[in-house]
Structure 1
């Protein structure tokens, strides 16, 4: 039995092997970094009212922003609004955000037939579920 000699690798093969190894090393490092620094916190969802209320054709548009500052993703985030005038709830509204990942924000608007500036407008997060 004779041993066949392996041909020596060319420079192009060594360069290709080095680049592929470098890319693989970077990917493995990034996955490890993400895994070690992952926030194991539940979603922390908050809603804030924007300052500008618009009136168009007798309807009042109240813009809002909802933010997930927690670690996990929230699904079916329910945003609720209550308009109190003279201490009585005169109008309510609900919005649902389908998907809100960590650090993500979404914007929307509630529409009321009465002027929110004449009463107290309460916005809150009603619920969410984990994926």
Structure 2
């Protein structure tokens, strides 16, 4: 075979090459932009509760979700729930989420023996650890 012989690329080959290159450049660009904009922002942890409290066998299940809308990961996220009446603490609960990456959501539930709808319920993030 002649080493100087090169077959010209067909139009479909060029189109495929250009589309693949554009996709690769888009992925690299989006990754670099995400890294640049959220590189140093700390975790921002928000707790959301659902109004759908479930009752089963005399216990009240209060679902919640924790969302990390910050730029970095949070470890050992501690979530605390307190049930109070007239300022007096009736019940409390604590949960720990091991790992919560940026834009990640974890769900769980607190279980109470008293009806949370007849008291003041507070669910909050108490602490987290940076990895």
The verdict on a shared fold, with TM-score over 0.5 as the criterion, is: yes
Match of 1:42 in 2: 42
Cα offsets for 1:72-113 (capped at 9, x unmatched): 111111100111124311211011112211122222110011
Match of 1:11 in 2: 9
Equivalent residues of 2:60, 2:112 under 8 A apart: yes
- After superposition, where does 1:44-83 map in structure 2 within 5 Å? 44-83=44-83
The runs of 5 or more residues in structure 2 that have no matched partner are none
* 1:94 maps onto 2:94 in alignment: yes
Equivalent residues of 2:38, 2:70 under 8 A apart: no
Relative to structure 1, the CA distance from residue 23 to residue 57 in structure 2 (aligned partners, 3 Å threshold; closer, same or farther) is closer
What's the CA shift for 1:67?
1.2
Give TM-score, length-normalised by structure 1: 0.77
What's the CA shift for 1:23?
5.9
Aligned pair count reads: 127
Give TM-score, length-normalised by structure 2: 0.77
RMSD: 2.6
Relative to structure 1, the CA distance from residue 8 to residue 43 in structure 2 (aligned partners, 3 Å threshold; closer, same or farther) is same
Q: Give me the whole-angstrom Cα distance separating, in 1, the residues matched to 2:27 and 2:119.
A: 55
Rg larger for: 1
The runs of 5 or more residues in structure 1 that have no matched partner are none
